[in-house]
Amino acid sequence: MKVEKTALPGVVIIEPRVFKDERGFFLETFRACDYNVLLEPGQAFVQDNHSHSKLGVLRGLHLQTRKPQGKLVRVVRGEIFDVAVDVDPSSSNFGRWFGITLTAENQKQLYIPPGMAHGFQVLSNLADVEYKCTDYYDPDGESGLIWNDPDVGIDWPLERANLAEKDQQLPTLASLSAAQDTIRNTGSKKA
């Protein structure tokens, strides 16, 4: 497999080896000994998710605060624009984003490390997206970032987005950062 770094540290594009002939294709979509080199020591992929969505659906930008999840994303049908955003206020890349078009045809995958916001917009009539996570979903640690925050300025391919009600209520980067600062400061006072 080929691993390509992006402008955001830890976010990488993966191109697995695809064997094609007139009958179709074959590829390994995951092999622990190859993919685990992307993870921090002690991390492993523990949960698989499958999302089925229609044209224009935008899922995200999601983030787990108590049990941050690294995600390995791939498309098995259709096409999406996949995005990672650095939401760590102490990072030199705070507020920066990276986006890539993932398709069933190009077979590319994107790895997003724990602690980043993640989302995608469906560009085809239907899309099936599968992704592995490095921690289990924690409903009490669910957070995120509003998809159209002007301070982040993501250049989404489609101007209109079909969002879940909860995703319409996600905070801006400034609000998210202020909440993280409050949690850090409260935590340090208890120590």
47 versus 186: which is more confidently predicted? Answer: 47
Active-site residues, by number, are 62, 131
> Which residue type, as a one-letter code, is found at position 84?
A
- Which residues, including other chains, have CB under 8 Å from residue 52's CB and lie 6 or more apart? 126, 127, 128
> Does position 117 have pLDDT exceeding 70, yes or no?
yes
The domains found in the chain, sorted by start residue, are 2-190 (2.60.120.10)
155 contacts 83 by C-beta, under 8 angstroms = no
- Which residues, including other chains, have CB under 8 Å from residue 34's CB and lie 6 or more apart? 1
This prediction has a pTM of: 0.89
> Does position 190 have pLDDT exceeding 70, yes or no?
no
Nearest to 31 by CA among 132, 145, 137: 132
Hey, which residues does 19 pair with through a beta bridge?
26
Helix (H, G, I), strand (E, B) or coil at 40: coil
> Does position 15 have pLDDT exceeding 60, yes or no?
yes
Asked if residue 61 has a cis previous peptide bond (ω within 30° of 0), the answer is yes
Assign 178 a pLDDT band (cuts: 50, 70, 90): confident
Round to whole Å and give the CA distance between 56 and 81: 10
> Does position 164 have pLDDT exceeding 80, yes or no?
yes
> Does position 33 have pLDDT exceeding 90, yes or no?
no
Q: Give φ, ψ of 162 to 5 degrees.
A: -95, 105
How large is the average pLDDT for residues 8-24?
91
> Does position 183 have pLDDT exceeding 50, yes or no?
no
> Does position 19 have pLDDT exceeding 70, yes or no?
yes
Residue 5: per-residue pLDDT:
95
How large is the average pLDDT for residues 38-52?
93
How large is the average pLDDT for residues 57-72?
95
> Does position 182 have pLDDT exceeding 90, yes or no?
no
**Cβ atoms < 10 Å from Cβ of 9:** 12
